[in-house]
């Protein structure tokens, strides 16, 4: 079906806009209403009934054409945000930089946006504003379907489907780029990156997620403009980082972040460790990302706290070693100081919320408690709410090349046996206390700190 659709259009190259609009009738594309959510269809029907244009747009249309099963659908309409809000009960207008209306249809939450206009000298400063760097601070100038298409980021995200006559509208050559399996920016890439530096992250994310290449003109300005990410709020970069690592393609995404010099502007400390050629850090992060992708594919739970714990641990461990060696700090004291310093620097770039920072720190802290299993300590550690994550993290460290003399297997066996078996395992340890690596020998053995 896609081959028949794509064969309708001649080949193009470069980033110039196609000369005319392409409208693809229902019998020449593969999108079926059966694959579109009931809420999205109902919302479009309501907008059409009130005399407004309404189209599915973005990733939902793209993924349907690629044979996917999207769960989220966005709608673009000629209705203004206020008009949309009045049409749907409980609708909320959010955003300042670009106004979006959240419309709830049953359990489904739809994002409805008004067609945007291109930027001209006649635009009102109240509605559209750019910083001196070129970054768009507000973008609320409304327009038509065609101008909205020109304001989208990538051609494959500028495909519009309407349930009014079941046609697909393509102004930017997105259908051809789907066939070529490439990410191509609409307009001049460097200008568009300066308008919104997050587009560089989006280019990488879509390329990794879809297995596409980034078109050469779109790719060329990324590395030299990577520092523009410093202009993006740390809270927004946190949201974007979740999309980078929680979509099932974290391994490929991370590789592209490094290739395009974006990683130093998101995780500077992590990048510095990797640049130093630390093989354990390389393997630990690689294994963490591979495992994350696997869990997402298997529809298993994944927490950002674990991903951040893995990404930042090499920097924490290196600083901990330095503090123990140079300041003669105990392992718990050095870990606490190292973790605080690394987290503080990281928060300047990405605002990780406390709901993830706290469990991340607990995963790290438990790395010191896992080796200490005598008496009731093993049972106390095993009952900790973060034990399972800390245990998984220990196995991750072992898989990366750290040697804990079978500690991971011991905890695996401990969890698999009954209460009597656990008592026997602890008793067998006797008075020998195993220590994790990166510990400074101490004259005395005080109680371990949590």
What is the CATH classification number for the domain harbouring 371? Answer: 1.10.3090.10
Q: Are residues 151 and 25 in the same domain?
A: yes
Q: Are residues 176 and 274 in the same domain?
A: no
Residue with tokens 């209460």: 419
Q: CA 262 to CA 106: how far, in whole Å?
A: 39
Q: Are residues 411 and 276 in the same domain?
A: yes
CA 11 and chain centroid, separation: 33
pLDDT at 10: 46
Decide the pairing of beta strands 213-214 and 182-183. parallel
Q: Are residues 279 and 427 in the same domain?
A: yes
Q: Are residues 172 and 277 in the same domain?
A: no
Residues 6+ apart with CB under 8 A from 288: 306, 307, 310, 311, 396
pLDDT at 446 over 60: no
Angstrom distances, CA of residue 282 to CA of 248, 256, 276, 288: 19, 15, 10, 10
**Cβ atoms within 10 Å, residue 439:** 16
Confidence label for 288 from pLDDT (cuts 50, 70 and 90) = very high
Confidence label for 432 from pLDDT (cuts 50, 70 and 90) = low
Decide the pairing of beta strands 74-77 and 136-139. unpaired
Residue 91 belongs to some domain of the structure: yes
Residue 440 belongs to some domain of the structure: no
153 is a catalytic site residue: yes
Average pLDDT over residues 235-241: 97
CA torsion, ordered 256, 258, 263, 265, to nearest 10 deg: -110
Catalytic residue, candidates 153, 177, 196, 293? 153
Average pLDDT over residues 362-390: 97
Partnered with residue 92 across adjacent β-strands are 102
- Angle 354-369/331-347 helices, nearest 10 degrees? 160
Residue 265 belongs to some domain of the structure: no
Residue 105 belongs to some domain of the structure: yes
Alpha helices in 137-221 (DSSP H): 145-151, 174-180, 189-195, 198-210, 216-219
Residue 446 belongs to some domain of the structure: no
Enter the tokens of residue 94: 């959010």
What is the CATH classification number for the domain harbouring 40? Answer: 3.30.460.10
418 is a catalytic site residue: no
pLDDT at 50: 97
pLDDT at 284 over 70: yes
Average pLDDT over residues 53-72: 95
pLDDT at 121: 42
pLDDT at 441 over 50: no
Confidence label for 98 from pLDDT (cuts 50, 70 and 90) = confident
365 is a catalytic site residue: no
Residue 361 belongs to some domain of the structure: yes
pLDDT at 246 over 70: yes
Residue with the bigger pLDDT between 1 and 450: it is 1
Buried b (16+ CB within 10 A) or exposed e, 344-377: eebeebbbbeeebbebbbbbbbbbbbbbbbeeeb
Phi and psi of 160, rounded to 5°? -115, 135
Average pLDDT over residues 414-434: 87
DSSP state letters, 101-164:
EEEEETTEEEEEEEPBPPP-TTS-TTTEEE-TTS-EEEE--B--HHHHHHHSSBGGG-EEE-TT
pLDDT at 141: 80
Q: Are residues 174 and 290 in the same domain?
A: no
**Cβ atoms within 10 Å, residue 412:** 13
DSSP state of 114: E
pLDDT at 140 over 80: no
Q: Are residues 147 and 33 in the same domain?
A: yes
**Is there a contact between 105 and 75 (Cβ–Cβ < 8 Å)?**
no
pLDDT at 96: 75
Q: Are residues 169 and 278 in the same domain?
A: no
Q: CA 288 to CA 308: how far, in whole Å?
A: 10
Enter the tokens of residue 295: 């869990």
Confidence label for 8 from pLDDT (cuts 50, 70 and 90) = very low
**Cβ atoms within 10 Å, residue 448:** 18
Instruction: Output the average pLDDT for the chain.
Output: 90
Average pLDDT over residues 298-321: 97
As a whole-number percent, the residues of the chain with pLDDT over 70 amount to 86
Q: CA 360 to CA 386: how far, in whole Å?
A: 9
pLDDT at 20: 62
Question: For residue range 334-349, what is the model confidence (pLDDT) as tens digits?
Answer: 999 999 999 999 999 9
pLDDT at 448 over 70: no
Decide the pairing of beta strands 74-77 and 213-214. unpaired
Residues 6+ apart with CB under 8 A from 379: 422, 426
Catalytic residue, candidates 63, 74, 177, 293? 74
pLDDT at 421: 96
Q: CA 111 to CA 21: how far, in whole Å?
A: 25
Average pLDDT over residues 286-296: 98
Partnered with residue 280 across adjacent β-strands are none
Q: CA 60 to CA 112: how far, in whole Å?
A: 13
pLDDT at 134 over 60: no
Average pLDDT over residues 432-447: 44
Residue with the bigger pLDDT between 198 and 107: it is 198
pLDDT at 136 over 50: no
Q: Are residues 162 and 281 in the same domain?
A: no
Partnered with residue 161 across adjacent β-strands are 56, 168
Domain that residue 317 falls in:
270-431
Confidence (pTM): 0.86
Q: Are residues 284 and 408 in the same domain?
A: yes
**Is there a contact between 84 and 112 (Cβ–Cβ < 8 Å)?**
yes
Q: Are residues 290 and 412 in the same domain?
A: yes
pLDDT at 118: 72
Residue with the bigger pLDDT between 15 and 257: it is 257
Residue 44 belongs to some domain of the structure: yes
User: Based on the structure, what is the number of domains in the chain?
Assistant: 2
Catalytic residue, candidates 72, 217, 259, 392? 72
Instruction: Using the 3D structure, point to which of 160, 180, 200 is the last residue of a domain.
Output: 180
DSSP state letters, 321-365:
HHHHHHS---HHHHHHHHHHHHHHHHHTTS---HHHHHHHHHHHH
Residue 112 belongs to some domain of the structure: yes
pLDDT at 119: 58
Q: CA 292 to CA 445: how far, in whole Å?
A: 37
Angstrom distances, CA of residue 283 to CA of 17, 61, 299, 300, 408: 43, 37, 24, 22, 17
């Amino acid at each position: 079906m896609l081959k028949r659709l794509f064969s309708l259009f001649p080949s193009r190259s470069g980033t110039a806009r196609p000369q005319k609009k392409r409208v693809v009738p229902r019998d020449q594309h593969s999108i079926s209403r059966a694959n579109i959510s009931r809420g999205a269809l109902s919302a479009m029907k309501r907008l059409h009934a009130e005399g407004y244009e309404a189209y599915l747009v973005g990733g939902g249309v793209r993924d349907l054409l690629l044979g996917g099963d999207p769960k989220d659908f966005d709608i673009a309409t000629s209705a203004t945000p206020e008009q949309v809000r009045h049409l749907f009960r409980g609708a909320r207008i959010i955003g300042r930089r670009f106004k979006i209306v959240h419309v709830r249809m049953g359990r489904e939450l739809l994002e409805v946006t008004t067609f945007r206009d291109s930027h001209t000298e006649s635009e009102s400063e109240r509605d559209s504003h750019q910083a001196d760097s070129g970054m768009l601070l507000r973008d609320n100038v409304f327009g038509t379907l065609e101008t909205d298409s020109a304001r989208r980021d990538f051609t494959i995200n500028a495909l519009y489907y309407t349930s009014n006559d079941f046609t697909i509208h393509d102004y930017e050559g997105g259908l051809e780029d789907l066939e070529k399996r490439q990410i191509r920016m609409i307009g001049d890439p460097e200008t568009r990156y300066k308008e919104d530096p997050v587009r560089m992250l989006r280019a990488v994310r879509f390329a990794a997620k879809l297995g596409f290449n980034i078109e050469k003109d779109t790719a060329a300005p990324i590395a030299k403009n990577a520092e523009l990410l410093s202009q993006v709020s740390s809270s927004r970069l946190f949201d974007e980082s979740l999309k980078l690592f929680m979509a099932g393609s974290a391994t490929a995404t991370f590789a592209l972040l490094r290739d395009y010099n974006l990683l130093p502007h998101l995780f500077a400390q992590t990048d510095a460790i990797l640049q130093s050629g630390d093989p354990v850090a390389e393997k630990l992060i690689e294994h963490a990302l591979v495992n994350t992708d696997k869990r997402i594919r298997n529809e298993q739970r994944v927490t950002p706290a674990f991903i951040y714990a893995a990404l930042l641990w090499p920097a924490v461990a290196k600083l901990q070693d330095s503090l123990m060696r140079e300041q003669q700090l105990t392992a718990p004291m050095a870990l606490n100081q190292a973790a605080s310093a690394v987290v503080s620097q990281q928060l300047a770039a990405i605002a990780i919320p406390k709901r993830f920072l706290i469990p991340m720190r607990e995963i790290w802290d438990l790395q010191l408690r896992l080796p200490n299993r005598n008496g009731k300590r093993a049972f106390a550690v095993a009952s900790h709410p973060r034990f399972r994550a800390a245990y998984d993290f220990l196995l991750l460290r072992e898989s990366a090349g750290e040697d804990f003399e079978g500690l991971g297997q011991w905890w695996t066996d401990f969890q698999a046996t009954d209460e009597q078996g656990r008592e026997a395992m602890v008793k067998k340890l006797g008075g020998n206390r195993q220590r994790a690596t990166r510990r400074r020998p101490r004259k005395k053995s005080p109680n371990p700190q949590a």
